[in-house]
Amino acid sequence: MAELELFTQFIEQNRSTNRQIQRAFPGLTQERFAEICSLPGAPEAAQQSIATSVSALRSGTNEEPNGTALEDIFNGVIAHLESFTSLEQYVWLVRMVVAAELIRRLPQRTTNVRRKLRWKVESIPLDKFSHSPACIHLVTKALVEDIPLEGLNLEHAIDQLSVSLSQLQRYVAVALVFVGLDAILKPQPKVDEPYQVHTVDTFLGYLEVLNLRNLSIQRNDLQSLYNLLRLLGLYQNMVIMRAYDKDELEREHKQYAESFRVRPEQRNIFWEWLKKSSALVTCINSDDPVDNLILADLFEIDMLPLFDDIIEDTS
């Protein structure tokens, strides 16, 4: 009865507030990218090889990206990749590549060079460091502190890292999901707590916070609600829907095996939460009907259908 009462209050209190959901990430200016390239960490020879192009980005007045300068930076880093041998230098590389992915409206040729750089950085062999908690923490920390990773920028970065050839970068993507969830649901900063790959139980704990009352409050900020659901969807794709046999799980993830072990009852908790929340969110009344369609699509196209085969197999 209490849950039904909350549901009724949500419908009665919800009124149009002339809002609209943005789905395109805002991106990064080339001036900010130049600042990120100038941060310490790169080998001196690499830093010198891109210095002129970085200065060109800083002094640029054109709103369109300077494709020539960006290509020179990407190619300059590629030419010196073998000199990146320390953890500090690897952190600089990943931060620079993630920042580059946030630059919008690049010419196709520049996009191709950026893709080449990204592929080469992803392909750097890390061996045992792929599963290092310290490496995951340091890379995640650099991304969070040095790049404007809020809202849709964060989700775009996670999306890119989640399909990386690098195991370490995929772990960073999972860690960033929890950074995003904390920013929305627990805005007070955590003190001296390392960035890490959390377990599925920790993730499900966030769903307990996302009860009907919290969702009814979120109705006043549909953008935050959209961002929140996107984060849940990214985690769903990276962890919840992954299937491993025991040997494969231990072999691939080693000490992180428990963070990717999803029991049927855990998967079902998430499925039930999605169904309940989908029914609630569809009651939102917005001046722009596109808002409703966007939220409905997240549930009905992007998230719930992924469970169809699993539910059929267990029924």
Digit-coded pLDDT (tens) for 267-315: 999 999 999 888 877 777 666 778 888 988 999 999 999 998 775 455 4
265/59: higher pLDDT: 265
> Which tokens is 30 given?
């080339």
Residue 15 is predicted with a pLDDT of 47
- The structural domain count of the chain equals 1
| SS3 category, 42 | strand
Q: Kindly indicate the confidence band of residue 212, based on its pLDDT and cuts at 50, 70 and 90.
A: low
Count the Cβ atoms, other than its own, within 10 Å of residue 70.
Answer: 25
Domain membership flag for residue 211: yes
Question: Which pLDDT score, from 0 to 100, does residue 312 have?
Answer: 46
Strand partners, 40: 42
Residue 203 within any structural domain of the chain: yes
156-162-163-164 Cα dihedral, nearest 10 degrees? 100
Is 293 part of a structural domain of the chain? yes
Within a domain: 252 = yes
Pick 8 or 203 by higher pLDDT.
203
In a domain, 250, yes or no: yes
220 within some domain: yes
| DSSP string computed for 247-260 | HHHHHHHGGGGGGG
State if pTM tops 0.75.
yes
- The tens digit of pLDDT for each residue in 30-75 reads 999 999 999 999 999 999 999 999 999 998 766 778 999 999 999 9
The answer to whether residue 112 sits within a structural domain is no
pLDDT given for residue 310 in this prediction: 74
Domain assignment of residue 243, given as a range:
199-315
Confidence of residue 208 (pLDDT cuts 50, 70, 90): confident
In the predicted model, is pLDDT for residue 231 greater than 50? yes
Q: How far apart are CA 186 and CA 24, in angstroms?
A: 24
